[in-house]
A = this chain, B = another copy of it.
Amino acid sequence: MRSKKRSVTIQDVAKAAGVSVSTVSRVLNGKIDVASETQEHIQAVIERLDYTSSLAARSMRSHSTNLIGLIMPDIEYPYAIEIMKGVNRAIADSEYDLLVYTTGNVQKLAAASHEQRFVALLNNSITDGVIIVAPATPRFVSDSPIVSIDPHHEYPNYPSVHATNYQGAMDAMQYLMSLGHTRIGFISGRSELESAKRRLMGYEDALKEAGIPYDPDLVVPGDFTSKTAAVVSRQLLALPNRPTAIFAGNDQSAMGVYEVAQEMGLRIPEDLSVIGFDNIPDSRYMNLTTVDQFLSEMGSIATKTLIRIIHHETLDNLNVRVETKLVIRGSCAPR
């Protein structure tokens, strides 16, 4: 462990081996035009000196690092962790290593201008491409390819992986209706987000398709937090003709409904069917039914797509748009 300043450089190796830096560089990069004798000698010196080439210097010249970046709003939520797992798995099967970047603070990253800064920070220097999770920014300036997961815009200028929010909501509704439910509450999400918009649309269209009239009282405004969900679901359950099922905007909202149901002594799902969206990360809520978003699969797909783009296997970078399946887990009660 040394203080500052780079300890051993390619210069040192060259000097110690009695050759020029370019020869060392050739050995480093596995070029063939080096006498096998020199080759071995240099290799030995490299090991003796514990030399490792500087990523910064290397990337600066060659513009290729075999590193993929993953930019996360926050590393702590199950949502983020699941995605990371998927990315990680795809990385393991590739020649790339992974660099997860986070500021440890949602606030810092949330600002769109910051997202651009982070993309640039990584992609314009040390990564060959980045995956960005839930970006608020619809367009980025970047030297290397970008793939996004769950962007907050429908048509960003980068390839993206979306969950099939609309279809998932339709499926959830159809499931509830097949059980005989006709009064189904809905807790909406942050309306500026694409996912929230599409879930609401799925709710509405499913009703329409089934010929069930839309009752505005049954749709209450949430914001993807359990706290708000608790407040609005209380309102929902106080209705004279209360819903027999609630389709919560996301997992957190479902948890909010759960708490209120407990409080009111309603059994789930016997007295009230509840379907969440995304994963239900907390086992205390395991009896909740959920439209499960395959987060890790989204991570994998995004990674594979990115690698394909880096390899120039995909010509049309801008229009890749993958959708991942959603599946309903758990069961509600018939009514």
B1 touches A157 (CB 8 A): yes
Determine how close the nearest CB of chain B comes to the CB of A46; give it in whole angstroms.
Answer: 12
Interface residue from B103, B121, B146 paired with A98 (Cβ < 8 Å) = B103
0/1 per residue, A66-102, Cβ < 8 Å to B? 0000000011100001001100111110000111111
A50 touches B141 (CB 8 A): yes
Interface residue from B2, B100, B126 paired with A56 (Cβ < 8 Å) = B126
A124 touches B91 (CB 8 A): no
CA gap between A143 and B143 in the complex, in Å: 29
A55 touches B2 (CB 8 A): no
Q: Which residues from B are CB-within-8-Å of A59? A: 56
The stretch among A3-11, A19-27, A34-42 that forms the contact with chain B is: A3-11
Q: Which residues from B are CB-within-8-Å of A116? A: 50, 52
Q: Which residues from B are CB-within-8-Å of A121? A: 52, 55
Q: Is the interface of A mostly helix, strand, loop or mixed?
A: mixed
CA gap between A100 and B98 in the complex, in Å: 8
Tell me if A120 is interfacial: C-beta within 8 Å of chain B.
Answer: yes
Question: 17 A-B residue contacts at CB 8 Å?
Answer: A1-B140, A1-B318, A4-B143, A6-B63, A6-B124, A52-B117, A52-B124, A54-B60, A54-B124, A54-B125, A57-B60, A75-B98, A81-B81, A92-B104, A97-B104, A98-B104, A126-B126
Query: Which residue of chain B has its CB nearest to the CB of A61?
Result: B56
B98 touches A57 (CB 8 A): no
Tell me if A105 is interfacial: C-beta within 8 Å of chain B.
Answer: yes
CA gap between A138 and B146 in the complex, in Å: 38
B92 touches A97 (CB 8 A): no
Query: Which residue of chain B has its CB nearest to the CB of A92?
Result: B104
Determine how close the nearest CB of chain B comes to the CB of A138; give it in whole angstroms.
Answer: 13
A100 touches B97 (CB 8 A): no
0/1 per residue, A142-153, Cβ < 8 Å to B? 111110000000
Tell me if A274 is interfacial: C-beta within 8 Å of chain B.
Answer: no
Determine how close the nearest CB of chain B comes to the CB of A110; give it in whole angstroms.
Answer: 13
